[in-house]
Amino acid sequence: MARSTTRTAGLLAGTAALTLGLAACGSSDPAPTDAAAAAKLQVVASTDVWGSVAQAVGGDRVEVKSIINSPDKDPHEYESTPTDAASVENAKLLLRNGGGYDDFMTKLVDASGNQAPVVDAVTVSGLQPAEEAGHSEGDGHDHGEFNEHVWYSLPTVQKVAQSVATELGKADPAGAATYTANAQRFDAGVAQLSTKAAAIGKAHPGATVAVTEPVPDYLLETASLKDVTPEAFSEAVEEGNDPPAAVLQQTLAVFTAQPKVGALVLNAQTQSPTTDQVKQAATQNGVPIVDVTETLPAGTTDYTAWMGAQIDRLSSALDRR
């Protein structure tokens, strides 16, 4: 995720939140009792992507709070609040991405003294080389060494769901069978996504794409799509830096090369003059643009629906190739 960019996707979410807030203020109905919520296992996730996975597994036996719950919050720069701290302190299960992506969550957990289990998606994934494990933003971790956006790794998401089911079952033995069944159902849905993504590569052997950031790279690998973006470009954009002029020109040339690149995969949650130039080059040369996001769009709460829609857009773009 680019750090020094303008985040654009939060306006609709903010409007919806305001509308709901006004409706709540005008209602004379009593709010749901705190006792009902307290009876559920409290789960706190660093982002709504992982929160949606926890909700899919926990169902109505859990109450999930996602700290990053709107597209205009940047996990790299997020400053936690006392409310966040209280939620983490009282949680029975904690879920974070790891890999330096959401270090605010690690700090919250450490400060809370809460001994509840922590499911770390990067650790569960097994994708991070051992010598890089343990690095964080504060340690000067270079994102170019490891792609921490593991929620685009479908096998990782399946593993995380299973880990969540296991930990919830330990905390709530009476619900263990339910958690296992929910995780299996979720697993089957993600498996269908993997099949759908793999079908893209089979339908378009040798197809290439360009990206503004390495956010969706794991999904592109599943789809057997080759990323032809200069690595120095996507790394610079992810870190919020301007790429060298020569690197930018190499990137723009991707859209005039033959055979034509199949699509530009654009992180829709960030904007910068550099990415605008790339987007313009794609448009001028008839290259389809596929928007992807790091967090759930406004009004979306289901991981498989969200990821499935992104895969569908990618497939449609390649069909126009």
The predicted-structure confidence for 62-74, as pLDDT tens digits, reads as follows 999 999 998 888 8
Q: Dig out the tokens for 65 from the structure.
A: 């709070």
The rounded distance, in Å, linking the Cα atoms of 118 and 44 is 10
CATH code reported for the domain at 34-192: 3.40.50.1980
pLDDT digits (tens, 9 = 90+) for 223-251: 999 999 999 999 899 888 899 999 999 99
The C-alpha angle 121, 123, 128, rounded to 5 degrees, equals 110
Q: What is the 3-state secondary structure (H, E, C) of 66-114?
A: EEECCCCCCCCCCCCCHHHHHHHHHCCEEEECCCCCCHHHHHHHHHHCC
Which pLDDT score is estimated for 110?
A: 96
pTM above 0.75, yes or no: yes
Do 300 and 306 touch, CB atoms closer than 8 A? yes
The predicted model gives 284-307 an average pLDDT of 96
The rounded distance, in Å, linking the Cα atoms of 281 and 277 is 6
**Higher per-residue pLDDT: 22 or 268:** 268
Q: Where in the sequence of the chain do the CATH 3.40.50.1980 domains occur? A: 34-192, 204-319
The rounded distance, in Å, linking the Cα atoms of 254 and 162 is 40
pLDDT digits (tens, 9 = 90+) for 174-210: 999 999 999 999 999 999 999 999 999 999 999 999 9
Question: Under CATH, which architecture does the 204-319 domain have?
Answer: 3-Layer(aba) Sandwich (3.40)
